[in-house]
Amino acid sequence: MPAPETLARARAPRAPEVSDPASEPDHVAEASGLMARISRLWERDPVPDAAAVEPLLAARLTDVAANKLARLWCTGYAAADGKRRRAMLGALAQAAEASRERGEGCARLFKRFNALPDGLRFLVELRADMLRWRKQVAGVQGLDKELEGLLSAWFDVGLLELRRLTWDSPASLLEKLIIYEAVHEIRSWDDLRHRVAGDRRCYAYFHPQMPDVPLIFVEVAFAPQMADDVQALLDTQAPAPDMDKSRWAIFYSISNTQAGLRGISFGNFLLKRVIERLLEEAPKLKSFATLSPMPGLRDWLSKLSAQEVEQIVRESKSKVSAGAPDGARWAERLARSAKGKPSEALRRAGLRLAAHYVQTLRNGQPLDPVARFHMGNGARAERVNWAADVSENGLRQSCGMMVNYLYELDKLDENLTRLGQGKPPASRAISRLA
Q: What residue ranges define each of the domains in the chain, with the CATH number in brackets?
A: 35-155 (1.20.140.90), 158-292 (3.40.630.150), 296-433 (3.40.630.150)
Give pLDDT, residue 7.
27
Sign of CA dihedral 21, 22, 23, 28: positive
* Res. 49 pLDDT band, cuts 50 70 90: confident
Residue 248, helix vs strand vs coil: strand
Residues 6+ apart with CB under 8 A from 53: 69, 73, 91, 92, 95
Whole-angstrom distance, CA of residue 357 vs CA of residue 375: 14
Whole-angstrom distance, CA of residue 291 vs CA of residue 383: 9
Q: Annotated catalytic sites, by residue?
A: 292, 374
Residues 6+ apart with CB under 8 A from 409: 272, 275
The H-assigned helical ranges of 226-317 are 230-234, 270-281, 297-302, 306-313
CA atoms in the 13 A half-sphere facing the CB of 156: 6
* Res. 350 pLDDT band, cuts 50 70 90: very high
Q: How many residues are present in the chain? A: 434
Helical pair 50-58 and 107-114, crossing angle rounded to 10 deg: 80
Give pLDDT, residue 44.
62
- pLDDT digit string, tens, across residues 85-137: 999 999 999 999 888 888 787 899 999 999 999 999 999 999 999 999 999 99
Q: How many CB atoms are closer than 10 A to CB 252?
A: 24
Averaged over 327-353, what is the pLDDT? 95
Least confident window among 48-52, 109-113, 376-380, 429-433: 48-52
Averaged over 200-204, what is the pLDDT? 96
∠ CA 262-267-273, nearest 5°, is: 115
pLDDT above 60 for 31: no
Averaged over 218-223, what is the pLDDT? 96
* Nearest partner of 77 among 213, 69, 13, judged by Cα: 69
Residue 292, helix vs strand vs coil: strand
Give me the numbers of helices (H) and strands (E) for the chain, helices first please: 19, 9
Where is pLDDT greater, at 39 or 413? 413
pTM to 2 decimals?
0.84
- pLDDT digit string, tens, across residues 225-278: 999 999 999 999 999 888 888 999 999 999 999 999 998 887 677 899 999 999
Exposed/middle/buried for 343, CB within 10 Å: 0-12, 13-18, 19+?
exposed
Residues 6+ apart with CB under 8 A from 306: 320, 324, 325, 326, 327
Query: Do 289 and 248 touch, CB atoms closer than 8 A?
Result: yes
Q: Which DSSP symbol is given to 22?
A: G
